[in-house]
C-alpha cells in the first residue's frame, strides 16, 4: 500500500511540476515586459545567463565568482534550456562595453512596482554610498539598579531568527520567560535580519551571508561595543550564527543552534543538495510543496509575493475580521514582512549557498573554547533530523538534545519556559568555562 501511495504522489508531482515549469516560463516573459515598461533599469531574472543576472550585484565579481549560490541560475526545469536560449539571444554575453553602459544607467526604481511601499516594508537604503544598513532589533536591558551592582557579570546574547520570521519570534517566546536572576545579568538583542521584519529591504542587494554579517556587526556588535556575547539561532539563523562565530571566535562564549540546516560541504554540488532535500519537488506533504514552489520558481514566487506581501495590509485586515481579533499572531504577520528579492536571494544565497561553507565554519571553531549546543524536534518536517546528527558527528564536542514529539517551531513555542531555562543554563555554564 505504501509503495502504491508513493507511486501516485510521484506521478502527480511530475504532472504538477511540469505545469508549474511551463507557468514560470510564461511568467518570465510577462515580467520581462512589465518591468521594462514600469522600471527605468529592470533587473534581469536568473533565467538568463549567469553574467547578466549577476551584473551589478554586490558581492559578485565580473567573473561570476563570489557568494552567489549556483541554485539561483541552475534550477532544474523542463523549459529551462528554452528560457536560457531565448534570453541569451536578447542579452548576449556581458562584455566590457556592455558593462560600461549598464553602469551608466539610472539606479533601479525604489521600491519595485511589485513590492509594498509602506513604512514597515520600505526605507530609503544607503547602499549606494556603500554604507551597511542598520538593522532593526529589540533589546531587553538588564534592570538598571541591579545592573550597576553586577556590571562585570553582565552577559550579551544575540538572537537570530529563521526564514520568513523576525525578532518577534524571540520576543514572544524567550524574553517574557527570563528568570529574575538572569534578568539582572543578561542583555538580549533580537535582530530582524536584513530583508525581513522591520529591517531594510534594499533592492540592489544579493542578501549573501556577508551582507547579513555586516548588518549584525554594524547594528549590534559595533554599536554597543560588545566584547563578548552568546548566540542563539533558529533554522536558517543557525548558518549565520556559525558564520558570525567563525568571524569573531574570541568574542563568542556559546552557540545554541535550534534545528540547524546542516549539510556537508564535502558533497558534490552542496548547494543543489540542500535545495533538493529541503525543497524537494513533491506535492505532499503540503508544507514541502509550498516550500518547493517558492524555492524553485522565481517568477511564480514573485507573483505570490505580489499578491500577498505587497497587499499585506489588506490581508491583515481581512484576517482580523475572520478571526475576530484586534491583533494577529506575530508568526502570521512575519510571513509577509519581506520582498521577493530578499526572500528569494536569502533562500538561495544563505540557506542553499551556506552548505558550501558550513564545514569551514565548524573547522574554524574546533580549536576555540566555545560551547555549542544543538537542539531539534524529533518530528521536524522542515529540516531533516539527520542534519543535527551529522553536525554532531562533524563537531563531536557539541551537545545534542532531541526533543520528542516536537516539530520545527514547537521545539521552542510549545516549551518556552523549559527552553529558556536551558538557555540560562548554557549561558551560565559557558561563562564559567570560557577562557577568552
Residues carrying an active site annotation: 161, 235, 380, 408
Q: Which residues contact 367 (CB under 8 A, 6 or more apart)?
A: none
State which H helix or E strand residue 232 sits in: strand 229-234
Distance, CA of 316 to chain centre: 23
Let me know if 249 is exposed, middle or buried by CB neighbors in 10 A (0-12, 13-18, 19+): middle
**Backbone phi, then psi, for 356, in 5-degree steps?**
-75, -15
Strand ranges inside 46-150, DSSP E: 137-140
Q: How far apart are CA 134 and CA 106, in angstroms?
A: 25
Which residue is it, cell 549560490?
69
Report yes or no: 193 and 237 within 8 Å, Cβ to Cβ.
Answer: yes
Report yes or no: 259 and 269 within 8 Å, Cβ to Cβ.
Answer: no
Q: How far apart are CA 127 and CA 205, in angstroms?
A: 8
Q: Which residues contact 135 (CB under 8 A, 6 or more apart)?
A: 191, 192, 193, 194, 199, 200, 215, 216, 218, 219, 220
Enter the C-alpha cell of residue 212: 547579513
Residues facing residue 264 across a β-bridge: none
**Spatial CA neighbour of 35 closest among 94, 123, 108:** 108
Give the three-state DSSP class for 283: coil
SS3 content of the chain, % helix, strand, coil (to 5): 50, 10, 40
CA distances from 23 to 17, 43, 74, 128 (A): 9, 20, 18, 35
Report yes or no: 370 and 245 within 8 Å, Cβ to Cβ.
Answer: yes
Q: How far apart are CA 191 and CA 124, in angstroms?
A: 19
**Spatial CA neighbour of 306 closest among 119, 121, 114, 118:** 114
Q: How far apart are CA 425 and CA 188, in angstroms?
A: 15
**Backbone phi, then psi, for 234, in 5-degree steps?**
-125, 135
Give the three-state DSSP class for 4: helix
CA distances from 222 to 202, 214, 215 (A): 21, 10, 10
Amino acid at each position: 500500500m505504501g509503495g502504491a501511495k508513493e507511486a501516485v504522489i510521484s506521478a502527480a508531482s511530475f504532472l504538477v511540476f511540469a505545469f508549474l515549469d511551463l507557468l514560470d516560463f510564461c511568467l518570465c516573459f510577462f515580467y520581462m515586459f512589465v518591468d521594462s515598461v514600469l522600471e527605468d533599469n529592470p533587473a534581469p531574472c536568473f533565467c538568463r545567463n549567469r553574467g547578466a543576472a549577476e551584473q551589478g550585484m554586490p558581492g559578485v565579481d565580473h567573473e561570476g565568482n563570489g557568494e552567489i549560490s549556483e541554485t539561483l541560475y541552475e534550477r532544474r526545469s523542463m523549459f529551462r534550456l528554452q528560457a536560457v536560449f531565448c534570453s541569451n539571444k536578447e542579452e548576449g554575453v556581458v562584455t566590457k562595453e556592455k558593462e560600461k553602459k549598464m553602469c551608466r544607467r539610472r539606479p533601479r526604481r525604489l521600491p519595485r512596482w511589485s513590492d509594498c511601499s509602506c513604512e514597515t516594508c520600505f526605507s530609503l537604503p544607503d547602499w549606494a554610498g556603500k554604507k551597511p544598513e542598520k538593522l532593526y532589533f529589540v533589546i531587553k536591558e538588564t534592570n538598571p539598579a541591579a545592573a550597576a551592582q553586577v556590571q562585570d557579570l553582565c552577559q550579551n546574547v544575540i538572537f537570530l531568527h529563521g526564514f520568513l520570521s523576525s525578532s518577534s519570534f524571540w520576543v514572544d517566546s524567550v524574553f517574557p520567560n527570563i528568570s529574575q536572576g538572569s534578568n539582572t545579568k543578561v542583555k538580549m538583542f533580537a535582530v530582524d535580519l536584513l530583508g525581513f521584519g522591520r529591517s531594510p529591504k534594499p533592492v540592489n542587494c544579493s542578501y549573501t551571508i556577508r551582507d547579513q554579517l555586516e548588518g549584525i556587526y554594524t547594528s549590534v556588535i559595533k554599536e554597543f561595543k560588545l566584547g563578548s556575547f552568546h548566540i542563539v539561532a533558529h533554522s536558517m539563523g543557525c548558518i549565520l550564527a556559525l558564520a558570525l562565530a567563525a568571524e569573531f571566535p574570541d568574542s563568542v562564549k556559546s552557540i545554541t543552534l535550534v534545528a540547524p540546516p546542516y549539510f556537508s560541504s564535502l558533497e558534490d554540488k552542496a548547494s543543489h543538495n540542500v535545495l533538493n532535500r529541503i525543497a524537494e519537488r513533491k506535492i505532499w506533504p503540503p508544507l514541502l510543496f509550498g516550500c518547493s514552489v517558492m524555492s524553485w520558481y522565481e517568477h511564480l514566487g514573485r507573483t505570490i509575493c505580489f499578491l500577498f506581501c505587497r497587499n499585506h495590509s489588506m490581508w491583515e485586515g481581512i484576517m482580523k475580521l475572520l478571526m475576530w481579533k484586534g491583533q494577529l499572531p506575530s508568526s502570521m504577520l512575519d510571513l509577509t514582512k519581506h520582498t521577493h528579492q530578499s526572500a528569494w536571494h536569502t533562500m538561495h544565497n544563505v540557506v542553499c549557498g551556506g552548505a558550501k561553507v558550513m564545514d569551514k565554519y565548524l573547522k574554524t571553531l574546533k580549536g576555540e573554547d566555545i560551547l555549542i549546543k544543538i537542539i531539534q524536534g524529533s518530528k521536524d518536517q522542515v529540516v531533516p533530523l539527520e542534519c543535527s546528527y551529522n553536525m554532531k558527528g562533524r563537531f563531536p564536542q557539541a551537545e545534542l538534545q532531541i526533543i520528542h514529539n516536537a516539530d520545527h517551531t514547537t521545539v521552542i513555542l510549545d516549551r518556552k519556559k523549559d527552553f529558556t531555562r536551558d538557555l540560562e543554563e548554557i549561558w551560565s555554564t559557558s561563562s564559567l568555562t570560557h577562557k577568552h
